[in-house]
Amino acid sequence: MKNNWSMIVALSVIYILLLILNSKTLYAGDDYVYRFAYMRSWPLEHLKVISTFAIPHSMWNHYFWWNGRFVAHSVVQYFMQFDTKVIFNVFNSGIFIVLIFLINKVATIITKHKSSTLIIISIFIFLWFFIPSFGQTVLWVSGSGNYLWMSVVYTSFILANLIDIDMTKFKFVLIILLSFLAGATNENSGPAAILIVILSIVYGFIKTRKIHVYSVISVLFAMLGFYIMLMSPGSQKRGTMHRDWTKISANLNDIYKLSFGNLKWVYLVLIAFIIIGIILKHITVVSLVHIAIFIIGHLAAIYSMALSPDYPERTFFGGIVFLAIAFFISVYNIYDIIPMKSIVIIACIVVFGFSYRDAYSDISNSYNEVASEYETIRIAKSNGDKDVKVKLMSVPKTTYNAYNGTVSLAENHYDWMNQWESKYFGVKTISGYR
């Protein structure tokens, strides 16, 4: 009972910390596009504000003209129908808590250990420091819908195939639906999740000579979801590139530099934990196999991007989630023999505190600048001025800032973002100045 209360307190504090950052982040980039029922990438003269019932038709257009990520962008458009971002802030902070829960749940199911509050806190700190482009993938509405929210879908799909389910017709339909959606989440993490489940099925068969029929059907529906997403005419048009070994090898080299530079210490600590667990006989064969499976999924999610025309760091999100699961499987195995656990966690919290302070300062500064842009536009509109000029925001300093790497207003009112924000605010033109 004491552990349950400490866990509730820890998760509540994490939720509040995330809610603060969400509340200090306004709309950015593609958010203004998804405010409207999707027609084309450039704004047309007559656009309708999105509504729940208009999302299917909007995603139909999106599928044929932009890309096949209908699951992710349905989430984005659902929240963009509201006239306030508060609703998204509340739910988005909560979905991050769900992701922490899922990572912890997968690790405890595999290791058969009870959940630990200290490990829950550690998972949050791990995600804080290693999630790529935190502002773009967690705080930005469009980015969060594509990465944070989708990670909950495909991690739930993995979890559903790791546990023994007392199957009913209703549960079967839910698993089939979840599997289909998981496959359609995105182009790299979705198929990597499918690979993880397939390897888990193979290991289960080798171990028990049994296969759950629902797991096989689950994988097939996930593959179907992935195929439908990938074959989107919009994706096919945008994703065309000349692929030869020279290009792919160059991409692989770039991805290696991007990923290994940020993750080398995680790899080294994970290897150290595994070695310690083996030497002291504190790690099971089941755990070792699943660590290997999730590492394979991690590498597949990251390095499959070598086949893509571009590979922004935010696309590594799923790979980091799989790495986190592998890492905390090892942590749970040797948890009982880790010395001075509380001191280690306190030290990590202190380091996190300084990082959070810097992130909050940067995010708050951008919030004030963007809020000032909004106010300038609203005042001009109320005065009947249809051509608005605003002071442009400064360059963000940290990757925890959603405006770092996303498209913002430019000086020229013909710019893509300027045109979409003009539509959003209902004015003729918006131009900027420094």
- CA dist 372 and 302 (Å) reads 38
Q: Average pLDDT, whole number, for the chain?
A: 94
Q: How confident is the model at residue 341 (pLDDT cuts 50, 70, 90)?
A: confident
Q: What is the dihedral of CA 243, 245, 246, 247, to 10 degrees?
A: 30
Give the mean pLDDT of 268-272: 97
Give the mean pLDDT of 178-207: 97
pLDDT at 235: 77
Lowest mean pLDDT among 36-45, 76-85, 86-95, 419-428: 36-45
pLDDT at 1: 59
Give the mean pLDDT of 329-342: 92
Kind and range of the H or E run holding 391: strand 387-391
Phi and psi, residue 144, nearest 5°: -65, -40
pLDDT at 238: 63
pLDDT at 414: 94
Q: How confident is the model at residue 261 (pLDDT cuts 50, 70, 90)?
A: confident
Residue with tokens 């997403």: 229
- CA dist 186 and 339 (Å) reads 40
Where is pLDDT greater, at 44 or 363?
Answer: 363
At position 154, the amino acid (one-letter code) is Y
Contact criterion met (CB below 8 Å) for 250 and 117: no
pLDDT of 321 > 90? The answer is yes
- CA dist 287 and 294 (Å) reads 10
**213-258 per-position pLDDT tens digit:** 899 999 999 999 999 999 999 877 765 556 677 888 888 998 988 8
